[in-house]
Amino acid sequence: MSGDGASFFDSRICGGVGAHHDAPLPNRLLAILAAMTALALAGCVPAPIPRGPVETGPAPGETIHVFTPEATEAPAPSPAPETAVGEGVVAGQVIMGSPGSSASLAGMDVTLRAVTVAMETGALTALLTRTAVTDAGGAFRFEGLPVGPTHLFYEVSAVYNGVPFSAWVVADAENAALSIPLTIYEATDDAGVITVDAMHVVVSRYHDALSVFQMLVYSNQSDRIYVNPVALDDGRRVSVRAPIPPNAANVIFDEDATGVRFVITGGSAYDTEYVLPGSRSHVISFSYLLPGDTSEIVLPITYPTARVNVLAQPGLRVRSPALTAAGVETIEATPYDAYTGGAMAPGAALTLRFSAPGIGVGAALAILLAGAALAAGIVWIIRRRPHAGWTPRQTMLIRQIADLDGAFEAGRINRLDYEARRADLKARLAEDSQND
């Protein structure tokens, strides 16, 4: 972290918590993300909740229920150049997903948007926007809609109790009449309904920094969406909270292309997407960088957590009282040391300590041999000293006298000069050594 060292951590990525650069995180993390997502969501019921039409590419006619708060709805589609009109029909019904709710579904405003997606760039273009009002049974209907071009999506949305809900459907050229059920929920701000099924942590070296990837798989045990009782300064409501280490840099959230879904404040990241009811209904993942000399990471537990999985790049040697070694897992041909931990309660913390790898027998022998060789050299130098007890300066003078003697004996210097120079050297040596 030296200023002029221009380390990678300092110069390229040290942006502090909340900094959002396009830092080149290792591609391996993407593979890990994919692998862990599959692991986290395998067999989950109901189906995982995609976060947008661009990323998932659902099949034509498939209905995907998503919750898209307006604040996070992005990227914003380009304005429609003209309103297309065709034979398409989108009909649906608002459904209350929270049993026991007495809410009336009649008279709700429902907005429909037709959006095309440029698959190459992901750019969205809005073709049209229309509104309708639900009937007594909560049904809505839009007619005269285009059925093409390809990559056309319809989104219907409604706001209930201040919370926006939406659903998408992919246009189908073979089926002009599409149906979209739009499920809404009552809300709860009781954090007790939230549990973490699994917290995954991947730690690896990244240049001169420590790269940490975290994935949290949440379940909502209630039949209502979870809304954090604490609102942001700007009034926005959020849901789950994930603490971020105070010295984390370059925090990158997955599934947050616009950088507005997550808000970091007070040392924690808050998700502006609410947690839908159900098991494993909510997943967030993010990565960040820590200084390379980090020896300990403390990850506070904010919700009851069923299990913890940690993967560490070989050589990092993770130690944690909450973890036990679980062998080696290979991801993208890269082996990771695996550790697992059991249930952890809110208020606890997962502490990961890192230590240097032990020195093997071969390395120890090499060190011993190198040390012995160096020591032998030092001993040889010491033994070459003319007399034990002389200082380095005195030794130098003694060597000069000896060399002078040699030069005189070899006839390279006349006697007069030899005697005078030798006497001068001896006098200097004596003056350097006198003790009274």
Q: Which stretch binds other proteins (CB under 8 A): 194-202, 222-230, 336-344, 362-370?
A: 362-370
d(Cα 153, Cα 365) in Å, to the nearest integer? 67
Paired sense of beta strands 308-312 and 194-206, if any: parallel
Q: Which stretch binds other proteins (CB under 8 A): 141-149, 166-174, 199-207, 355-363?
A: 355-363
Q: What residues from 98 to 117 belong to the interface with other proteins (CB under 8 A)?
A: none
Q: Which stretch binds other proteins (CB under 8 A): 35-43, 55-63, 104-112, 401-409?
A: 401-409
Residue selected from 119, 298, 365, 430 as contacting other proteins according to rule CB under 8 A: 430
Q: How far is the CB of 58 from other proteins (least distance, A)?
A: 48
Kindly state whether residue 433 participates in binding other proteins, applying the rule CB under 8 A. Answer: yes
Instruction: Name the residue among 291, 398, 294 with its Cα closest to residue 7.
Output: 291
Paired sense of beta strands 296-300 and 324-331, if any: unpaired
d(Cα 243, Cα 269) in Å, to the nearest integer? 6
Kindly state whether residue 325 participates in binding other proteins, applying the rule CB under 8 A. Answer: no
Q: What residues from 145 to 204 belong to the interface with other proteins (CB under 8 A)?
A: none
Kindly state whether residue 365 participates in binding other proteins, applying the rule CB under 8 A. Answer: no
Cβ closer to other proteins: 257 or 407? 407
Kindly state whether residue 363 participates in binding other proteins, applying the rule CB under 8 A. Answer: yes
Q: How far is the CB of 320 from other proteins (least distance, A)?
A: 18
Q: How far is the CB of 417 from other proteins (least distance, A)?
A: 7
Which positions from 404 to 423 touch other proteins by CB under 8 A, shown as an x/- string? Answer: -xx---------xx-xx--x
Radius of gyration of the chain, Cα coordinates, nearest whole angstrom: 35
Residue selected from 4, 321, 383, 392 as contacting other proteins according to rule CB under 8 A: 383
Q: Which stretch binds other proteins (CB under 8 A): 10-18, 215-223, 236-244, 360-368?
A: 360-368
Q: How far is the CB of 416 from other proteins (least distance, A)?
A: 5
Kindly state whether residue 371 participates in binding other proteins, applying the rule CB under 8 A. Answer: yes
Task: Indicate the helix (H) or strand (E) that contains 374.
Answer: helix 361-384
d(Cα 418, Cα 406) in Å, to the nearest integer? 10
Cβ closer to other proteins: 230 or 370? 370
Buried b (16+ CB within 10 A) or exposed e, 299-313: bbbbbbbeebbbbbb
Kindly state whether residue 47 participates in binding other proteins, applying the rule CB under 8 A. Answer: no
Residue selected from 319, 385, 408, 413 as contacting other proteins according to rule CB under 8 A: 385
Cβ closer to other proteins: 148 or 377? 377
Kindly state whether residue 424 participates in binding other proteins, applying the rule CB under 8 A. Answer: yes
Task: Write the CA distances from 289 to 1, 16, 22, 201, integer angstroms.
Answer: 13, 10, 13, 13
Q: How far is the CB of 378 from other proteins (least distance, A)?
A: 5
d(Cα 102, Cα 79) in Å, to the nearest integer? 38
Kindly state whether residue 8 participates in binding other proteins, applying the rule CB under 8 A. Answer: no
CA 233, 238, 243 angle in degrees (round to 5)?
90
Kindly state whether residue 123 participates in binding other proteins, applying the rule CB under 8 A. Answer: no
Kindly state whether residue 356 participates in binding other proteins, applying the rule CB under 8 A. Answer: yes
Q: How far is the CB of 317 from other proteins (least distance, A)?
A: 10
d(Cα 73, Cα 290) in Å, to the nearest integer? 30
Kindly state whether residue 376 participates in binding other proteins, applying the rule CB under 8 A. Answer: yes
Residue with tokens 């209350």: 96
Beta partners for residue 351, in sequence order: 298
Q: How far is the CB of 386 from other proteins (least distance, A)?
A: 4
Within 8 A by CB and 6+ apart from 206, the residues are 25, 26, 289
Buried b (16+ CB within 10 A) or exposed e, 109-138: ebbbbbbbbeeeeeebbbbbebebebeeeb
Residue with tokens 């993770």: 318
Please report, as a single letter, which amino acid is at residue 126.
A
Cβ closer to other proteins: 104 or 391? 391
Distance of CA 392 to the CA centre of its chain: 56
Kindly state whether residue 2 participates in binding other proteins, applying the rule CB under 8 A. Answer: no
Within 8 A by CB and 6+ apart from 59, the residues are 170
- Residues in contact with other proteins by CB under 8 A are 355-357, 359, 363-364, 367-368, 370-372, 374-376, 378-379, 382-391, 394, 398-399, 401-402, 405-406, 416-417, 419-420, 423-424, 426-427, 429-431, 433-436
